[in-house]
Amino acid sequence: MTAAMLLELRNIKKTYRAAKGDVSAVNGVSLSVDRGQFVGVQGPSGCGKTTLLLIAGGLLTPDDGDVAIGGQDPFGLPADQRANYRANNIGFVFQQFHLVPYLNVIENVLAASIAAPHAQAEKRARELIAHVGLESRIHHVPAQLSTGERQRTAFARALLNQPKLLLADEPTGNLDHDNAQAVLGYLKEFSREGAVLMVTHDARAVDYADTVAQIREGQLLQEGVSADTLTSSS
């Protein structure tokens, strides 16, 4: 793993057991994401995108293969240390936002500091909220926000702990064109200093990525992708 590489997945496999037969969600996927890079993985629903992202974020243990985030294997850490490592190194942006309904905007953003407390958390939260244009909504709860405002709140929360890597799962899936463009712009901006891995079915979203791979039936296809960035092995 090079100094610039923030995420490396090697020959990742994940199968879900089911009464009607096993389902191979990810089958031999390898990819890397370097600092300063925005990588997109595009594919239809049910092709393994979210499973791949959850493994990349240390949230779902693969059946086989190796994961390194900033040179560290998260699955080699005890559960509490793994959670702390995620909190300090990875930001997550999900299609469904996962905001706490009874917390307002600044409280939702600050929720990220529970796992990784730091003295300047509130100051940084306010700066991030201003950056995504939500200063006037800072004391509103999610039910009082538009869909785009909820995603911008989630994005600010993802950045609170100054992660090295952002993982985005269908970040534009619930957004109209203007809000989608805004969120994708924020991801692109972050990738200039950190790194972004985004999985999506949205063709407009991958236009923002530096490199793109297609995923089908749990395997990556290499069309249009730099060979030294994304590969697939079966």
- Phi and psi, residue 62, nearest 5°: -75, 160
The whole-number pLDDT of residue 231 equals: 38
Annotated domain spans of the chain: 37-47+78-227
The whole-number pLDDT of residue 167 equals: 97
- Crossing angle of helices 177-191/147-159, nearest 10°? 10
The whole-number pLDDT of residue 3 equals: 56
Residues 151, 154, 156, 162, CA torsion sign: negative
Query: Which of the two residues, 184 and 5, has the higher pLDDT score?
Result: 184
Q: Which CATH superfamily is domain 37-47+78-227 in?
A: P-loop containing nucleotide triphosphate hydrolases (3.40.50.300)
- Phi and psi, residue 206, nearest 5°: -70, -10
Say yes or no to pLDDT of 72 above 50. yes
**Residues 75-98, mean pLDDT to the nearest whole number:** 92
First to last CA, the chain: 21
Say yes or no to pLDDT of 183 above 50. yes
Determine the Cα–Cα distance for residues 133 and 155; give it in Å rounded to an integer: 12
Look at strands 219-221 and 211-216 and give their pairing.
antiparallel
Residues 206 and 212 sit within 8 Å (Cβ to Cβ): yes
Length of the chain: 234
**Residues 59-83, mean pLDDT to the nearest whole number:** 93
Q: Please write the tens of the pLDDT for every residue from 133-178.
A: 999 999 999 999 999 999 999 999 999 999 999 999 999 988 999 9
Band of pLDDT at residue 19, cut at 50, 70 and 90: confident
Beta strands in 83-218, from DSSP E residues, in sequence order: 90-94, 165-169, 195-200, 211-216
Band of pLDDT at residue 92, cut at 50, 70 and 90: very high
Q: Please write the tens of the pLDDT for every residue from 187-199.
A: 999 999 899 999 9
Say yes or no to pLDDT of 223 above 60. no
Residues 165 and 173 sit within 8 Å (Cβ to Cβ): no
The whole-number pLDDT of residue 233 equals: 36
Query: Which of the two residues, 138 and 46, has the higher pLDDT score?
Result: 138
Mean pLDDT value across the chain: 89
The shares of helix, strand and coil residues in the chain, as percent rounded to the nearest 5, are: 35, 30, 40
The whole-number pLDDT of residue 234 equals: 31
Q: Which of 117, 125, 115 is nearest to 58 (CA)?
A: 115
